[in-house]
Structure 1
Amino acid sequence: MMNVTDDAALSNMTLYAQLKMTVDSLTPKRARVFTTDILRAWGEQDLVDDAVLIVSELVTNAFRHARRQGPEELTGLTVQNIETVTLLLELWPDAVGIHLQDGSPILPVPRTALDDQENGRGLQIVAALTQSWVAAPVAANGKRITTFLRRDSAHSA
């Protein structure tokens, strides 16, 4: 039995929270709310703004680029998309991990946007805010993007 006052044991503990969502126009909002609620519950208020921006960029990219396009979408008919993404948050002693998995095997590629372009800065934002990020294929014909936000040293002491 673990003694909850044992700081050494608590510093090695990792917490997880996962949300699986159907990809539609409301997915980014659901992901932002989930991220905010979980990080606040974990006492990581200082990381909420950066984490929400990262999650929003990753989920929006999945919505825009990673969905499989069926014949209905290619012809312009509106059909509910049945693709899903899974958002996993992890609380480590020194970082918060943010993982997004989708069904597309196409890995994201950072772009350089012109000043007058509205899109193309998402991965630059992710790179600027995170300790590190990586995208890798997963066995089930998809990919997982993993990012890490450094926690305040006071939390990990």
Structure 2
Amino acid sequence: MPRDESLDGFAACGLGGCPRSAGQARRFVRATLTSWALPSLVPDMTLVVSELVTNAVQHALSPSSAPPSSPSSSPPPEHPVWLGLFRYPGVVVCAVSDPSPEPPRPRDAGDAAGSGRGLALVGALSESWSWDRAPVRGKTVWATLSLPGDSA
């Protein structure tokens, strides 16, 4: 079960890094935005977060992205992926952190492709998105959505 930490305008959720993580993230976003009285952001934010978490699980946690293990290496963390929601004046920011330093790579998906459109969706639904390397390990990919009307 993800761990939730909430303050006024901030909420975080640890995710296990499995295929079910995107569903857990969507439920967390829905509950958090509803508690912040922002239900109109739920559809777009749940899609953005779902895409970012899915990318983290599929690409950042894949066996090919893991560093070589050594006999003294520690076990994998309980929550290799973290989701944070931040409410600022005028915007809500979602941030997904994972252990891979590799940047997100937007792709040109063909008409018949079954995947490869996630970051294009994130770009279309958000005001902005980008990523930063984490100070110690991994990266954080973030996206901002504007608050509706005069809620700021």
Matches within 5 A, 1:86-101: 86-101=82-97
The CA distance in 2 between the partners of 1:68 and 1:53, in whole Å, is 22
Normalised by the length of structure 2, the TM-score is: 0.83
1:84 counterpart residue number: 80
1:74 counterpart residue number: none
The count of residues paired between Structure 1 and Structure 2 equals: 135
1:76 counterpart residue number: none
Q: Structure 1, unaligned stretches of length 5 or more?
A: 1-13, 71-79
Normalised by the length of structure 1, the TM-score is: 0.81
Residue 145 of structure 1 aligns with an amino acid whose one-letter code is V
**Residues 69-90 of structure 1: CA deviation (Å, up to 9, x unaligned):** 17xxxxxxxxx99561110001
SS in structure 2 opposite 1:105?
Answer: coil
Shift of the alpha carbon at 1:153? Answer: 2.7
Assess if the C-alpha contact under 8 Å between 1:24 and 1:81 holds in 2.
no
The structure with the largest alpha-carbon Rg is: 1
1:25 lines up with 2:19 in the alignment: yes
Assess if the C-alpha contact under 8 Å between 1:85 and 1:101 holds in 2.
yes
The CA distance in 2 between the partners of 1:113 and 1:62, in whole Å, is 18
The CA distance in 2 between the partners of 1:109 and 1:144, in whole Å, is 13
1:153–1:21 CA distance, 2 compared to 1 (3 A): same
The CA distance in 2 between the partners of 1:39 and 1:110, in whole Å, is 27
Shift of the alpha carbon at 1:136? Answer: 1.2
Assess if the C-alpha contact under 8 Å between 1:47 and 1:151 holds in 2.
yes
What fraction of aligned residue pairs are identical, expressed as a percent? 34
Q: Structure 2, unaligned stretches of length 5 or more?
A: 1-7, 65-75
Assess if the C-alpha contact under 8 Å between 2:14 and 2:79 holds in 1.
no
